Amino acid sequence: MKEKIKFRESRSGAFRALVILLTVVTVVPLVAVLYYIFRKGISVIDWHFLVSLPKPVGEAGGGIFNALIGSILIIIMAAVIAVPLGVTSGIYFSENSKTRIYNIAHLFVDVLQGIPSIVMGILVYLWFVKPFGHFSAVSGSIALAFMMLPSIIKSTEETLKLVPPTLKEASLALGVPYYKTILWVIVPAGLSGILNGIILGVARVAGETAPLLFTAFGNPFLSANIFKPIASLPLIIFNYAISPYDEWHRLAWGASFILVVIVLTLNILTKLAERKWKVQF
């Protein structure tokens, strides 16, 4: 009996050691990826890099200004498209959770979230590129907007569901009509949670490349024309990374660094905002 216990206890200790070992083996490479990107990228970053345009093959120097502008433009447009639809349906879901529309639409939101980004690219190509005969920044935004929708919808719904129902009752008891109660009392109360969901959605699509491959397509020049192809950070990283030129690789590391910093900052922002918001109620 005693020996059995000894065996069991040492087995438990061994398992724990195994778990710790595997954890270290897991975490170290993951953090190493971050470290590698930072190390390779930071030496490339300087003011010149950020504000100049890519140079043709063979020439040294050049920068990612067009990609920066392009990314910002595409993402802002995507948000403009996705936020109204996302917040409105989120409000519907939080207020009507027993209807049949809810059951089907809610399921479809989960489906939307799982659609591979490349398939999204195909769809938007078929809808907004082929009929018009050319690539465009707008079509890229639309693809990204579709991908942002699920996070915006879900966080709007969850936030509003958490607003105490007593607030709604207080407003209704004052004789405020239902639509004003929702718009001017409930939604403002949940505003930080909704904003959080939007930032989260942006963080998720900022680094997406596949949906832009056949929509925004990329552009070696600076362009702010939303109906023409446009450069963006993920696209430029992809194209430079698979090229055989060392100089382009160097630029790709710089662009990767910038992109990772942007995405990480947005994610950290949402985490902080989430904590601040959770205390409110």
Partner 1 sequence: MESSILRTEDFNAWFGSSHVLKNINIEIENNQITAVMGPSGCGKSTFIRCINRLHELTENATTSGKIFLDDKNIYESNPTLIRRKMGMVFQHPNPFNTMSIYQNVISGYTLNGYKLSKSEKDGLVEESLKQAALWDEVKDTLHKKGTFLSGGQQQRLCIARSLAMKPEILLLDEPTSALDPISTTKIEDLLLDLKKNYTIIIVTHNMQQAARVSDKTAFFYLGELIEYDVTKKIFINPSDTRTQNYITGRFG
Partner 2 sequence: MPGQTNQKSAVKGLIIRETLFRRTLSLSALLIIVLLLCMFLTLLVSSLPSIKALGLKFIYGQTWDPVANEFGALPFLVGTLLTSALAILISTPFSLSLGLFLGEYYPRGWFSGLIKNAVELIAGIPSVIFGFWGIFTIVPLVRHLEIKIGVAPYGVGILTASLILSIMIIPFSASLIRLVVTMVPRELKEAAYALGATRFEVIRYVIIPYIRSGLSAGILLALGRALGETMAVTMLIGNTHAIPKGLFDTGNTMASVIANEFTEATGHVYFSALIETGLLLFVVTTVINIIGVRIIKRFEM
Structure tokens at 145: 């907007």
Closer to partner 2 by Cβ: residue 152 or 224: 152
- Helix 191-206, helix 65-95: angle, nearest 10: 140
Please tell me whether residue 105 adopts helix, strand or coil conformation. Answer: helix
Identify what 148 binds: partner 2, partner 1, none; CB under 5 to 8 Å per kind.
none
DSSP assignments along 213-239, one per residue: HTTTB--SS----TTS-B--HHHHHHH
Judged by CB under 8 A, which of 55, 102, 167, 261 binds partner 2? Answer: 102
Footprint of partner 2 on 33-52 (CB under 8 A): 33-34, 36-37
Binders of partner 2: how many residues, by CB under 8 A? 86
Out of 139, 229, 256, 277, the only residue in the binding site for partner 2 (CB under 8 A) is 256
Strand ranges inside the chain, DSSP E: none
96 CB-near residues (< 8 Å, 6+ apart): 102
The interface with partner 2 within residues 113-142 (CB under 8 A) comprises: 113-119, 121-123, 125-127
* Count of alpha carbons within 13 angstroms of residue 195, beta-carbon side: 14
In angstroms, give the least distance from the CB of 243 to partner 1.
53
Instruction: State how far the alpha carbon of 144 is from the alpha carbons of 33, 45, 95, 199, 209, in Å.
Output: 26, 27, 27, 13, 10
Q: Which does 56 bind (CB under 5 to 8 A by kind): partner 2, partner 1, none?
A: none
Among 72, 107, 113, 74, smallest CA distance to 197 is for 113
Residue ranges in 61-90 that form contacts with partner 2 under rule CB under 8 A: 85, 88-89
Kindly tell me which residue out of 61, 84, 116, 188 binds partner 1, with binding defined by CB under 8 A: 188
Mask: binding to partner 1, 126-165, rule CB under 8 A, as x and -? --------------------------------------x-
Footprint on residues 85-124 left by partner 1 (CB under 8 A): 98
Among 167, 263, 269, 273, binds partner 2 (CB under 8 A): 263
Tell me which of 30, 174, 275, 279 binds partner 1, using CB under 8 A: 174
CA 20, chain centre distance (Å): 31
| Length of the chain (residues) | 281
Rule CB under 8 A: choose which of 92, 162, 167, 192 binds partner 2: 92
Residue 130 DSSP class:
G
Burial class (CB in 10 A: 0-12, 13-18, 19+), 147: buried
Residue 15 contact, options partner 2, partner 1, none, Cβ 5-8 Å cut-off depending on partner type:
partner 2
Task: Name which of partner 1, partner 2, none residue 280 binds, using a CB cut-off of 5 to 8 Å depending on partner kind.
Answer: partner 1
Positions in the binding site for partner 1 (CB under 8 A): 98, 164, 166-167, 169-178, 180-181, 184-185, 188-189, 280
